[in-house]
Structure 1
Amino acid sequence: MLIAGFTLAQIAFALAAALGSAFVRGLTGFGMAILMVPVLALALPPVEAVLLTNALALMLGATEIRSLVRDAERSAWVIGALVVLATPLGLYVLSITDRNTARAVIALIALSAFAAILLPKRGAGMPGRLTTGAVGVVSGLLTGYAGMPGPPVVPYYAGRDLPRATIKASMQLIFTIAASAGLASALWLGILRWELLLFALAMLPMIIAGNRLGARVSGRVSDPVWRVFVALVLGGAAAAALARLV
């Protein structure tokens, strides 16, 4: 049975991935795309997995935009602007890559995020312009290719001694901008199916519920505990995606 071009199994798979990954986002401020894209790519074509995740990230970010703008560090706007410029190239490369290769690259990107969260913290000072620029460009390329702006952004903020509210708002603002860039690029390249947007809209309540539950738990979890939790989840997601390819 098909609903808007998707099977019931694909829909159930996507809803389960959405709930779990949104919970992690609410808890930590990041991780939704890193977790969701490798899992969705097991049931959907990689391009559709990326675009569906972008649509969900944009819708969720739009519900929080006032607090994100208020609490984010100024660097988030610089990185976000560079993400917009670099995303179309990454999405174009994905559109001409065969499915198995794309799935392998996406899994490896998720694995890199697992390694990044284990890095030791640095000071609270803002990194130099070159580092900030590199984070923006690489994040944009990964947004287009894998729907994952997080791997370079997470260590940039979570690796510094900043208030958790600033870290979460900065990352989530960038991810919202990245999702907008990804969808706009897909529309420009003619690879965005409107059924994906309807699918995302239907999944939005599940995403909001998972995100709110994670945010509620976040206030009760110490910094070391949430870093270990996210590292384990990210490592598990990457390992599962890699195992599927073997």
Structure 2
Amino acid sequence: MTLTTATAYVALIFLLAGAVKGVVGLGLPTVAMGLLSLRMPPAEAAAILLLPSFITNVWQLAEGPRLGSLVRRLWPTLLAIFVSTALAASVIASAKSTIASVALGGALLLYATAGLFNFHMNVSTEAERWAGPTVGIATGFITGATGTFVIPAVPYLAGLGLARDELVQALGLSFTVSTVALGLGLLWHGALQFQSISHSTFAIVPALLGMLLGGRIRRRVSPERFRRWFFVGLGLLALHLIYAAL
């Protein structure tokens, strides 16, 4: 791709990904990684999503009512996510494009399947003590290998019985930690290039505009119906990534 074409492609993707996040409260890194990886190696795609993901997730967690209590409750999970993501970033940084694309497609397909079939976890207070760090480690290694932050962190956080506003804030907190750790891991392993950073900076504005657009769409359509079609589209994208890589 030429520089102009690449810039336009990145802008459109983050406008769409931001709109998805504006409607359902998540999905920006997932959509962006999947679509960017159609035209570039997953490591480059992961580098581009860093800044828009960080900005939009900080925005999301800052709007919630109980940041302090969530940090105190979730810190073992967040610490495990941070450490394992930073360590596992060597996978996406060094893996061949084919391997990374198949891994990304597999992670997206798993997430889409869980969403379509309404998979739910119910985590008791007793189980949370060991489940939190375990989920954090698993999420971190999947993030480091694929650049996606959602499995198994999203089902786990949804299974804690948090109020809606708390859950949205907890997701923003988890995604922010994942983004920072992934960025540091990519930097550590030499996978951050100047062009990727410049595209990442440029993508902030389309992502924020997409979130504002998504907020308007949310007031006009059923969020559940939108969510269902989102998972259908994500599953098809995942299958295409796997097929194209093989």
> Displacement of 1:225 after TM fit?
2.9
TM-score (norm 1): 0.86
Instruction: State the distance in 2 between where 1:52 and 1:185 align.
Output: 14
Alignment of 1:58-77 (within 5 A): 58-68=54-64, 70=66, 73-74=70-71, 75-77=73-75
Instruction: State the distance in 2 between where 1:160 and 1:218 align.
Output: 25
Instruction: State the distance in 1 between where 2:80 and 2:142 align.
Output: 12
Structure 1, residues 68-106: CA drift from partner, whole Å, max 9, x if none?
573584444432221111012221122221111111111
Q: CA, structure 1 residues 95+156, in 2 after alignment: closer, same or farther (shift >3 Å)? A: same
> Displacement of 1:220 after TM fit?
5.7
Equivalent of residue 109 in structure 2, options 108, 111, 115: 111
> Displacement of 1:64 after TM fit?
4.2
Question: In the alignment, is the contact (CA less than 8 A) between 2:86 and 2:144 conserved in 1?
Answer: yes
In structure 2, what is the equivalent of residue 17 of structure 1? 13
In structure 2, what is the equivalent of residue 207 of structure 1? 207
> Displacement of 1:244 after TM fit?
2.5
In structure 2, what is the equivalent of residue 92 of structure 1? 90
> Displacement of 1:208 after TM fit?
0.2
Structure 1, residues 15-51: CA drift from partner, whole Å, max 9, x if none?
2221111111122222222221121112122211111
TM-score (norm 2): 0.86
> Displacement of 1:170 after TM fit?
0.9
In structure 1, what is the equivalent of residue 235 of structure 2? 235
In the alignment, residue 36 of structure 2 is paired with which amino acid? Answer: L
Question: In the alignment, is the contact (CA less than 8 A) between 1:26 and 1:215 conserved in 2?
Answer: yes
In structure 1, what is the equivalent of residue 47 of structure 2? 51
Alignment of 1:137-156 (within 5 A): 137-156=137-156
Return 5+ residue gaps in structure 1 as ranges. none
Question: In the alignment, is the contact (CA less than 8 A) between 1:68 and 1:172 conserved in 2?
Answer: no
Equivalent of residue 34 in structure 2, options 23, 34, 38: 38
Instruction: Kindly tell me the number of residue pairs found equivalent between the two proteins.
Output: 242
Q: CA, structure 1 residues 45+131, in 2 after alignment: closer, same or farther (shift >3 Å)? A: same
In structure 1, what is the equivalent of residue 194 of structure 2? 194
Q: Percent identity?
A: 23
Structure 1, residues 167-187: CA drift from partner, whole Å, max 9, x if none?
221111111111111111222
Return 5+ residue gaps in structure 2 as ranges. none
Q: What secondary structure does 1:60 align onto?
A: helix
Q: CA, structure 1 residues 107+122, in 2 after alignment: closer, same or farther (shift >3 Å)? A: closer
> Displacement of 1:148 after TM fit?
0.8
Question: In the alignment, is the contact (CA less than 8 A) between 1:33 and 1:53 conserved in 2?
Answer: yes
